[in-house]
Structure 1
């Protein structure tokens, strides 16, 4: 049984088997062909692996932190969510906006009408559709007031993003605010110091704050976009782009009528713990890689 688990804990390619990952039936065949066991069923293999919670048919992706200022940038965003900036609590006339773009929302006109759900029957959406084009949905989310400002554009870019900024900053309470912090990721529409300077030049009370590279999960507007994906875009069934625009605007009104701030619980203390775990994981991975190369 130990040999069975040992094989399951190796990548198939390491044993010259042309598979991306093991399944229980494939393991059963391989074990028998190698003479490790006699003929064996997939259910038996699954039962043995279950003893140590080994699931080689599953996989998770991950990425190394590449931003040298990851912790500093992440702490800035987290502090703003806690209404703090550089160790000083935000005033009543200071606001935090989380903004981003949701690209390529398509209008897929189904070739047959979508059927409403019924008794013991799910909604039915025809697989075949005609393409009606695509648009970008830009949104700015006031983190502490739970208010969304959105707009649709033909594409993303600097001008569409600045249109969103102007839409928000031209109205109260943001126009007369002491400071309005804009938390954004590192997309091309608002990347780097040039974007920060461009924002401040247009609106002197606006401050651009970047999340770390590959850390869009720190941007709260992504939570709103996930709501839009679930409640508005899926399943995608629109006659044209005008209907997409109208649906998104109507949903914003519906959302803003009852929205409450997200219960954001990830703090700077949680960040410290996460980074410590990642450091250990990175060290273990590098040590394991060195041992494999030495072998």
Structure 2
């Protein structure tokens, strides 16, 4: 059997890129840059994680500073901002005048703090949030958010699209990418909690999860238009409940809670949802849409 070489050929006119942090996600980012033909320099605190990338044509930097000085575009992806700052703090002078793209996941507040640090050291800074798992990186479905220095984004947009075609720029507030990330994961984890609880309730009633799963697509299929209409209600604060009002839906919650309690299931998530809907009804939103519960959550 003929073996096919996986060596990536770089384009001499392509933008050089440095990737710092070679965990699973960092390796995927680096591989995507290589696939797109960008000269690549890599560095990782722990040795050995760059072997496959070097075999494909990446340059192994001997130090973090060498890695930074090798390219005008530096991408960092590590476990959190504490780890990122431990690496970046000693590199402030080397980073000056370069574009730093931080794809480390953390909070909007931490993103803005990092941006302030970068500005104080004359570093053009983009904060990003990766919204897909490792295998999707480099493909058309790889959604990555960016926020921060617009000029830096526009200068390197075509390079960043090597990681994922959307490469969505959200604005110059450096916290926006993390804000979108937190909001989307809030929805995801809430939905996953509801999904597993639904399977637990079904199992308690003698229904196998695999038997219920195909029918859940009915609910999943109506979520996109529900998301759009709920967003419109919240932004306009109109909360039209003509189709299905909050009081009616809260009554359905009572039925689910009764069933869950009868089987001794942990219903903390459902009870929290019910508590919010009860507060919204107490504030006069019983005839409004479910979106009106946002008024019982606090915040801005």
Give the TM-score range, shorter chain. Answer: under 0.3
TM-score, normalised via structure 1 length: 0.24
Larger RCO: 1 or 2 (CA < 8 Å, sep 6+)? 1
User: Which has a greater percent of strand?
Assistant: 1
More helix by share: 2
With normalisation by structure 2, the TM-score equals 0.24
Q: Which has the larger radius of gyration?
A: 1
